[in-house]
Amino acid sequence: MPPVVQKEPTGCGIAACAALAGLDYETVRTRAAALGIHASDRTLWSDTPHVRRLLRALEIDTDPNERPFTGWQDIPDRALLAIKWRLIDGVPFWHWVVFVREAGESVVLDSKAALKNNVRRDFGRMKPKWWIEIGPA
């Protein structure tokens, strides 16, 4: 699964959905806009309903629960991760990334445009707070 780079500073949720769907950012941004979902909406990265609704529209199933991060080995083969989790004025915010385990190799697809490589293997540097399991492809 190739990574998708976000085209907007706050478009990590849209880019994560695009990567999971195997689509480009613009296509998924257009689909999101038709659902009333925009990268500029702070709830896209401070709550899960928008991303879940967008994934559902892309025919991708998600587990209804967020699971606390306990270790990389505990994450299923496909999951959305909340990293860079923080509170701002009492409201949680995070950066969405995609965890993928294929053929015995685990990677994180990080949509941040400033990265030299959007396929990350530096697991010790990332500090996930929780994850959402993604259904079968």
Query: What is the tens place of the pLDDT at every residue in 82-101?
Result: 999 999 899 999 999 999 99
Q: Are 100 and 109 within 8 A, CB to CB?
A: yes
Q: Are 111 and 10 within 8 A, CB to CB?
A: no
Per-residue pLDDT of 102-125, as tens digits, reads 988 999 999 999 999 999 999 999
With cut-offs at 50, 70 and 90, classify the pLDDT of residue 41: confident
pTM assigned to the model: 0.94
Q: Which of 130, 39, 42 lies closest to 93, judged by CA?
A: 42
Domain boundaries, the chain: 12-133
pLDDT of residue 137: 56
Strand boundaries in the chain, DSSP class E: 67-68, 78-88, 91-102, 105-109, 119-120, 130-133
